[in-house]
Amino acid sequence: MHRTSGEQDRVAERTGAFAPPPRLLLGPGPSMVHPRVLQAMASPLLGHLDPEFLRLMDEIQQRLRHVFKTTNPFTIALSGTGSAGMEAALVNLIEPGDAVIVGINGVFGSRMAAIVERCGGTLIRVEAPWGRIIEPEAIADALRSAGPVKAVAIVHAETSTGVEQPLAPIGSLCRDHDALFIVDAVTSLGGLPLEVDGWHIDACYSGTQKCLSCPPGLAPLTLNDRALAAIRSRTTPCQSWYLDLALIADYWAEGKRAYHHTAPISMLYALREALCLVEEEGLETRFARHRRHSAALLAGLAALGFTPFAQEGHRLPSLNAVALPPALEDAPLRTELLRQFGIDIGGGLGPLQGKIWRIGLMGESATRANVLTFLGALETLLFRRRWTGQPGQAAEAASRVYREQGLDEHSLV
């Protein structure tokens, strides 16, 4: 079919390469990605049963065990986002009639509860106000009063509120009551301490797009022998074929490699490179970096009238939730940050919509340069709204934190 020159121009416009605008990703995810990770994704494809690709899978498992702090043989990268990890952990471990305690203090605890109910489980809700932790004593009370409990499920890093949940006491309680301990580590893995073996966690899942600074698309997942025994002893089939871990295990098992589905090969290349970067930096150094930049960001925001939302002593360094000053409008200000400065941050969810901001400093996003860039842009917008502070006040407050921590004045990381 012959096209006119005008039609050809319109086709070329529709089919030309997509050029994403530059963005500084400081929201609740995804985070910024290192160029090495992006380059890895451009590598030529291998077949998903190619011996070289299977060796790559073995390496990824080993590196994931390092960040999860576990020796669990069943440690994999599930094909799907962090929400797929959540669903896989719950639908495989929960059968109709199983009693399950879920800690609910934000959006993602609520999602876990919804999945438990869809599995036919008997949901036992242990709730706390959004912004507060689930007190271990409340879990202890529920375990004592509920009778036999199959599992306790809780979010380590509640992305909707910025709360870091203590896990070790709950893990001990679960062992005392012979209950499985299921943990959502989507916004914590690789950004703050997580001890799967040391804290008696039986099933733990995460996502690649947060503190690991890999594109979204994989859900790191680890199960110990207690969790695997529960899956093997099911009396009903798992309600999901695609997320049936008994089937997926055969694909990841060394020496077996039974076909289940076509793995997202390029994403696994990316994850391998992201995990290499984590190990090169060192976990403790990485955790300290997240804490340092979070402290500086909160100091700068305090100078502008923002206040931390999450409970004191339990605030996430990877996801900083702050309450807006009363005079500021949430959506217009975030829109201006994006349009004028290319800075992407998150607003509140559910009952917190319009009340808080969620500012992610995860993985590659957690740098001094990014903190100061964000504070400078925000201060510029506030001055246009007749803010009465001193120019550079926020940056100076943040820089004071850096000086106190001995960070070189010219360092950007």
Q: How far is the C-alpha of 308 from the C-alpha of 131, rounded, in Å?
A: 10
Q: Do 273 and 352 reside in the same domain of the chain?
A: no
In the listed set 220, 244, 279, which residue is the last one of a domain according to the structure?
279
Residue 394 falls within a domain, yes or no? yes
Check residue 259 and give its pLDDT. Answer: 84
CA R_g for the chain: 23
Q: Do 341 and 206 reside in the same domain of the chain?
A: no
Q: How far is the C-alpha of 87 from the C-alpha of 85, rounded, in Å?
A: 5
Residue 175 falls within a domain, yes or no? yes
Q: Do 268 and 168 reside in the same domain of the chain?
A: yes
Q: How far is the C-alpha of 410 from the C-alpha of 238, rounded, in Å?
A: 55
Q: Do 202 and 113 reside in the same domain of the chain?
A: yes
Tokens of 309: 């939302």
Spatial CB neighbours of 341, under 8 Å, sequence gap ≥ 6: 24, 373, 377
Check residue 39 and give its pLDDT. Answer: 98
Q: Do 301 and 316 reside in the same domain of the chain?
A: yes
Residue 403's CB is within 10 A of a number of other CB atoms, namely: 12
Instruction: State the amino acid at position 286 in one-letter form.
Output: R
Tokens of 46: 């291998």
Q: Do 290 and 271 reside in the same domain of the chain?
A: no
Residue 413 falls within a domain, yes or no? no
Instruction: State the amino acid at position 326 in one-letter form.
Output: P
Spatial CB neighbours of 60, under 8 Å, sequence gap ≥ 6: 77, 268, 271, 272, 275
Spatial CB neighbours of 202, under 8 Å, sequence gap ≥ 6: 151, 174, 180, 181, 182, 223, 224, 226, 227
Q: Do 398 and 384 reside in the same domain of the chain?
A: yes
- DSSP secondary structure string for all residues of 299-354: HHHHHTT-EE-SPTT-B-SSEEEEEPPTT--HHHHHHHHHHHH-EE-EE--GGGTT
Residue 18 falls within a domain, yes or no? no
Q: How far is the C-alpha of 209 from the C-alpha of 98, rounded, in Å?
A: 32
- CATH number, domain with residue 176: 3.40.640.10
Q: Do 151 and 224 reside in the same domain of the chain?
A: yes
- Write out the residue range of the structural domain in which residue 237 sits: 35-279
Q: Do 217 and 182 reside in the same domain of the chain?
A: yes
Q: How far is the C-alpha of 309 from the C-alpha of 331, rounded, in Å?
A: 18
Q: Is the dihedral of CA 234, 238, 239, 245 positive or negative?
A: positive
Residue 12 falls within a domain, yes or no? no
DSSP H or E run through 199: none
Check residue 169 and give its pLDDT. Answer: 98
Spatial CB neighbours of 100, under 8 Å, sequence gap ≥ 6: 94, 116, 121, 122, 123, 124, 149, 150, 151, 152, 153
- CATH number, domain with residue 375: 3.90.1150.10
Instruction: State the amino acid at position 80 in one-letter form.
Output: G
Q: Is the dihedral of CA 243, 244, 248, 249 positive or negative?
A: positive
Check residue 387 and give its pLDDT. Answer: 82
Q: Is the whole model's pTM more than 0.85, yes or no?
A: yes
In the listed set 250, 279, 308, which residue is the last one of a domain according to the structure?
279
Domain tally for the chain?
A: 2
Instruction: State the amino acid at position 360 in one-letter form.
Output: G
Check residue 14 and give its pLDDT. Answer: 72
Residue 162 falls within a domain, yes or no? yes
Cβ(154)–Cβ(142) below 8 Å: no
Residue 82 falls within a domain, yes or no? yes
Q: Do 67 and 116 reside in the same domain of the chain?
A: yes
> Residue 210 gets which letter from DSSP?
S
Q: Sort residue 386 into left (φ over 0), alpha (ψ -120 to 50) or beta.
A: left
Check residue 411 and give its pLDDT. Answer: 63
Check residue 407 and give its pLDDT. Answer: 74
Residue 97 falls within a domain, yes or no? yes
Q: Report the length, in residues, of the chain.
A: 413
Q: Do 214 and 321 reside in the same domain of the chain?
A: no
Where the chain has pLDDT below 70, the residues are 1-13, 408-412
In the listed set 279, 298, 324, which residue is the last one of a domain according to the structure?
279
Check residue 150 and give its pLDDT. Answer: 98
Q: Do 268 and 323 reside in the same domain of the chain?
A: no
